[in-house]
Structure 1
Amino acid sequence: MSDQHYDVLVIGSGGGTKISTPASHLGLKAAIVEKDRLGGTCLNRGCIPSKMLIHAAEVAETISTASRYNLRPKGFEVDFEALVQRVSQTIDDESDSILPGYRKNENLHYYHGEARFVGDRTVSVRGKTLSADKVYIATGSRPRIPHIPGLDKVPFLTSTEALRLEKQPKKMIVVGGGYIATELAYYFSALGTDISMVVRSVLLRPEDAQVRAAFHKAFQRHAKVYHEATVDWVTFENGVYKMAICGEGGLKMELEGDALLIATGVVPNSDNLNLAAAGVETRPDGFIRVDDRLRTTAEGVWALGDVAGNFMFRHSVNLEGEYLFRTTIAEPCDEAIDYGAMPHAVFSSPQVAGVGETEDQLQARGADYVVGFRNYAASAMGMALRSEEGFVKILVNRADRKILGCHIIGHEASVLVHQVITLMQMKGTLDDLLATTFIHPALNEIVRNAARDARAKLQA
C-alpha cells in the first residue's frame, strides 16, 4: 500500500517536465521526483551554463584575433572568478525559480530525494512510498569515469566541477575528445589556460570524416592534441598533476598541469533505481531498454532522454517528452515516435553542426549520392569574416534529389544548419532549397552555394 497514488509519476526534472507539468494542467494528479537541483542536467550542469561560459570565450577570441581585421586592441584581463560566479548565480536563480511554480500547482506534487523502485509502478522516496498509473523515467546521465591507474587517488574534475571552477588553471590536461571535452577545452583555452588533450582515437569521432579532419587541424590553435593515445598512469603531488601517456606510434611522454579534466562521455543514471523490482530491463551498456514507443519492459513504465540512450540532447528529450505526453496522456494512441531530422551541434571553435547521415555512412550502405560543397571563403560574408577553415557540405540522393545529410564547420554552423533541418523535416528536395531567396550577403548564402554545387554535379 502506497502513501500516495498518482495518475502520473515522473522521475527526473529535466526533460521529464514535458510530461508532469502539462499532465497536471489537464487536471491529472501528477508527481515529480528529483534528487538534485530542479531543471535537470541541461540547466544545472550542462548545455546552458557551458554556453554562457563559452560565449565569454568567443568574445575573448574575437578580441585576440582582431588584428586580422586591422584592429589592434590592447588586450583584455579575465576576471575568471567573477565570470563563473555570475554564470553560476544565474543558473541557480533559474533553478530556484521552478519550485514556487510547483507549489502554486495543486495538481503537481514535488518530492526532493532519490527514487528507488519497490514494486510495479511504485517507488520509495525518503521513506515515502509513491505509486502511479503511469511512470516515466527521465533520470539522465552522469560523467563516465574511465579506468586509469592512479585516477582514484587524485582530485580530478568532471564537466560538473569544471563549470563551477572559480580559479582559472594555468595548465590543464583534458582526457577525452568528444563534444564536452572540445567545448570545455575551448572555453579554458580562449581565456588563457594552456591545454593538452589526450584523445583515445580522434576528436569528434562521430562527425563526418571531412569535418572531423578540418576540426582537428583548426583545433590545434586551442590545444596540443595527442590522438590515438592511452594513459598509463596519473599522479598528483604539491598541486601538480603528472600523466604518462602512450601516443600515436607508441610514443611515450609525460604531461604536467595544475588541473585535470576527465571528459570521456557519460553513463546512464539507471543503476540506483532498483529497476529489477519494477521489471524494467536495461541493455548491456546500462541504458534502459525501450521500444519505438519508449515503452520499457514493464507495463505502464516509459523511459526518455539520456537514460534511454536514443539521443543524448536536450532537444531530443524535449521531443520525447512531448511525444509521450501526447500519445500516452492527452491523445492516447499506438503511434511510434518519429525523430525526424535530428540535428546536433558542437559549440567549440570552430563550431560544428550536422543533420542526417554522414558521407561515411552513405558509403557504407552503398548509397548513390552527390556532394555539394562550398568553403566559407567563397562567399561575400565569408570574405568579410576572413574565413580560412569553414565549409558547408550537403549530401543529396541522386534519384529523388532529397537531402540525406548536411554537415557544417565554421562560424555560426549551429545557426546555418537549421534551414536544412527544416527542409529535411518537410521531406523537401534540393530544388526546394534552391527555390528559396537568400538575403545577400548573409552567411546563409554558403548553404545555397553548396546546393548549387550539388545541382551542377547532378546535371553533369
Structure 2
Amino acid sequence: MRHYDLVVLGAGSGNMVFGNEFAHLRTAVVEPSRFGGTCLNRGCIPSKMLVVAADAVQNARSAARLGVDVTVAHADWKAVRDRVFHRIDPLHAGALAYRRESGVDVYTEEGRFVAPKVLRVGDEQITADTFVVAVGCRPAVPDIPGLETVPFHTSDTIMRIDEAPISLAVIGGGFIAAEFGHVFDAFGADVTIVQRGPRLLMTEDEQVSARFTELAARRHRVILDAAVTSVKRRGDGVALTVTCPEGEQVVDAAMLLVCVGRRPNTDRLDATAGGLELDEHGHIVTDSAYRTSVPGVWALGDAVNHFQLKHVANVESRVVRHNVLHPEDLRTLTNRIAPHAVFTSPQIASVGLTEQEARRRRIPCLVSVRNYSDTAYGWALEDTTSFVKVLANPADRTILGAHIIGPQAATLIQPLIEAMALGLTVDRVARDVLYIHPALTEAVEQALLAL
C-alpha cells in the first residue's frame, strides 16, 4: 500500500491544485479519463468552438436585414469538428507527461474508496494524509421506456460524431439543448426540442426565458409542457412518443440528444465508503472552506456545488490549494455571486437574482429593462429582440441581479458582475463611469440610469 502526502482525485480543476509549493511532497493524481476534465474535452471549450462556427452561419443567414446578400454554400461539419479536436486532443498527453516529469504519480484507472482515506485504484490500494476530491459530474440519463434500446447521444459524445444529422430530436430544454440546437441547426439539421416546462431555459429570468423560447421557436420545432413517454428505433433513426397538452404525438429524427441534467460522479467514487457525507443530490457536503466530513479530505467543483461552472471550480481550486497548505489560515470564497452565460443564439448572460426569485422571496426590488434598439449600436445591428435587465435594491441602491439576452451578452454583463461583487451602488456605476459611444455597453448604462 503506497502512502502519499497529497492525492488529488480528478484532473479537471483538481489538476490546478498542484503547484510548486507541493514539490517537496509525495503527490499523486487519479484520472481515469482525460486531463482537463469535462470543460476541455467534452464541455465548455469544444462546444464554444462549435458555437463560433454556428454563429458565423447564423450571421450570414441573417445578413439580409443589413442589406447584405450572403449565401452559405456549405458548413463542413467534419472540417470544423477536426479543427476543434485536433487542437484539444493532444493536450492530454502533454499534461500527463508534465505531471509525471514534475514528480507527481499519475494513476489512469478509476479510484474507489474502500475506507476513509483508503483508495483502491486498479489492483492496488493507496492512502494519503490529504485527499482533494474533484471528480466532477456526468450527464444524467432519464428512465424512459425504450431509451436503452436505441442509440442516443449526450453532451459527452455528440460533438465527436462523423456527420451532422439531417434531423435531431433533443430531450431537455436547458443550456445544453439551447447551445446544441443552435449548433446543429447551423449545420443543416431539422431540430426538435421536447421540454417538460412551459418555456426553454426555465432557470433564467422569466422575461429572458420567454424571449429565448419565442426566438428558438422560429428556428426549431419546440414542444413545451411535454413528456417523452417512450422511445424506439425507426429505420436508421429514432421515434419519440411525446405527450403534451395537444395530445400524444410522435417525433421522428435521425439522431437523439438527451440533455436533462447532470449528476455528480460521487457514486463511481463510492464516496460513502470513504466516509464522505452526501446531500440528497449526491454532492459532497463541505463547509465554507471546502473541508468534508472526513478530516484531511477536501472537495471542490461539480462533485460539490450545483453551479456546474468551470469558473466556479477554478476559484474553488485556488481556495483549496491555499487551505491545504495553510490549514491554520483558512480561506473561503469572498464572493459567492456566480455568473453564467448560455452560448446560444442569441447569447444569454445572468448574475444574481431573477425577478421571479425576488417576488418569491419577497425581496423589494426596482427593475429596469433597456432594449439594444435604444442604442446607436443596436441600430447598426438592426436588433429588435435583445435587451438588458437590471434589478436593484431600493434601500441601499446596490445591484441585485442582471440579465442580458443578445449579442455579446457574456461580455456586456461583466461590469455589472464587478459592481455586485464590489458592492457598488447603481448611482456610482451609472454616473461615475464613462461608457464608450456608440458601443453596446450604452444599453447597460441606460438601464442603470433608468434605475
- Range into which the TM-score falls when normalised by the shorter chain: over 0.9
Displacement of 1:330:
4.4
Displacement of 1:104:
2.2
Query: Which residue in the other structure is 1:80 paired with?
Result: 77
Q: TM-score, normalised by structure 2?
A: 0.96
Query: Which residue in the other structure is 1:94 paired with?
Result: 91
Displacement of 1:331:
6.4
Query: Which residue in the other structure is 1:131 paired with?
Result: 127
Deviations, residues 230-282 of structure 1 (Å, cap 9, x unaligned): 012111132021111012x2521111110000011111101121223321122
Query: Which residue in the other structure is 2:445 paired with?
Result: 448
Answer yes or no: is 1:167 the counterpart of 2:163.
yes
Query: Which residue in the other structure is 2:370 paired with?
Result: 374
Check conservation: 2:78, 2:163, Cα contact below 8 A: yes
Tell me the SS of whatever aligns to 1:97: helix
Check conservation: 2:150, 2:233, Cα contact below 8 A: yes
2:22 to 7, 21, 24: 24
| Amino acid in structure 1 at the alignment position of 2:105 | H
| Amino acid in structure 2 at the alignment position of 1:93 | P
Displacement of 1:22:
5.0
Tell me the SS of whatever aligns to 2:70: coil
Check conservation: 1:20, 1:32, Cα contact below 8 A: no
Query: Which residue in the other structure is 2:425 paired with?
Result: 429
| Amino acid in structure 1 at the alignment position of 2:374 | A
Q: Distance in 2 between matches of 1:365 and 1:282?
A: 27
Query: Which residue in the other structure is 1:348 paired with?
Result: 344
1:23–1:34 CA distance, 2 compared to 1 (3 A): farther
2:208 to 200, 204, 211: 211
Q: Distance in 1 between matches of 2:129 and 2:291?
A: 14
Tell me the SS of whatever aligns to 2:279: coil
Query: Which residue in the other structure is 2:34 paired with?
Result: 37
Query: Which residue in the other structure is 1:406 paired with?
Result: 402
Q: Kindly tell me the number of residue pairs found equivalent between the two proteins.
A: 449
| Amino acid in structure 2 at the alignment position of 1:20 | F
Q: Distance in 2 between matches of 1:76 and 1:339?
A: 47
Tell me whether 283-292 or 109-118 shows the greater mean CA deviation. 283-292
Displacement of 1:134:
1.1
| Amino acid in structure 2 at the alignment position of 1:17 | N
Query: Which residue in the other structure is 1:289 paired with?
Result: 285
Tell me the SS of whatever aligns to 2:415: helix
Query: Which residue in the other structure is 1:457 paired with?
Result: none
| Amino acid in structure 2 at the alignment position of 1:40 | G
1:143 to 127, 139, 146: 139
Q: Distance in 1 between matches of 2:20 and 2:169?
A: 44
Displacement of 1:432:
1.7
Tell me the SS of whatever aligns to 1:399: coil
Query: Which residue in the other structure is 1:51 paired with?
Result: 48
Tell me the SS of whatever aligns to 1:163: helix
Tell me the SS of whatever aligns to 1:62: helix
Deviations, residues 375-420 of structure 1 (Å, cap 9, x unaligned): 0110011111111111001111111110111111111100001011
Deviations, residues 73-104 of structure 1 (Å, cap 9, x unaligned): 23220221121122122110222321232132
Check conservation: 1:23, 1:325, Cα contact below 8 A: no
1:23–1:179 CA distance, 2 compared to 1 (3 A): farther
| Amino acid in structure 1 at the alignment position of 2:78 | E
Answer yes or no: is 1:364 the counterpart of 2:360.
yes
Q: Distance in 2 between matches of 1:22 and 1:299?
A: 24
Q: Distance in 2 between matches of 1:257 and 1:136?
A: 43
Q: Distance in 2 between matches of 1:49 and 1:214?
A: 27
Q: Distance in 2 between matches of 1:223 and 1:54?
A: 16
Check conservation: 2:335, 2:421, Cα contact below 8 A: no
Percentage identity across paired residues of the two chains:
37
Q: TM-score, normalised by structure 1?
A: 0.95
Query: Which residue in the other structure is 1:458 paired with?
Result: none
1:332–1:189 CA distance, 2 compared to 1 (3 A): farther
Query: Which residue in the other structure is 1:104 paired with?
Result: 101
Answer yes or no: is 1:220 the counterpart of 2:210.
no
Tell me the SS of whatever aligns to 2:38: helix
2:151 to 152, 155, 166: 155
| Amino acid in structure 2 at the alignment position of 1:149 | P
Answer yes or no: is 1:60 the counterpart of 2:19.
no
Check conservation: 1:304, 1:320, Cα contact below 8 A: yes
RMSD: 1.4
| Amino acid in structure 2 at the alignment position of 1:405 | G
Query: Which residue in the other structure is 1:189 paired with?
Result: 185
Tell me the SS of whatever aligns to 2:112: strand
Q: Distance in 2 between matches of 1:185 and 1:91?
A: 23
Q: Distance in 2 between matches of 1:317 and 1:232?
A: 36
Answer yes or no: is 1:299 the counterpart of 2:284.
no
Displacement of 1:332:
3.9
Displacement of 1:339:
3.6
Q: Distance in 1 between matches of 2:18 and 2:118?
A: 16
Query: Which residue in the other structure is 2:333 paired with?
Result: 337
| Amino acid in structure 1 at the alignment position of 2:114 | V
1:177 to 158, 173, 177: 173
Q: Distance in 1 between matches of 2:331 and 2:151?
A: 48
Answer yes or no: is 1:390 the counterpart of 2:386.
yes
Query: Which residue in the other structure is 1:275 paired with?
Result: 271
Displacement of 1:200:
1.0
1:12 to 10, 13, 30: 10
| Gaps in structure 2 of 5+ consecutive residues | none
Q: Distance in 1 between matches of 2:287 and 2:224?
A: 36
Check conservation: 2:39, 2:45, Cα contact below 8 A: yes
Check conservation: 1:204, 1:212, Cα contact below 8 A: yes
Q: Distance in 2 between matches of 1:76 and 1:94?
A: 33
Check conservation: 1:138, 1:304, Cα contact below 8 A: yes
| Amino acid in structure 1 at the alignment position of 2:17 | I
Q: Distance in 2 between matches of 1:378 and 1:151?
A: 48
| Gaps in structure 1 of 5+ consecutive residues | 455-460
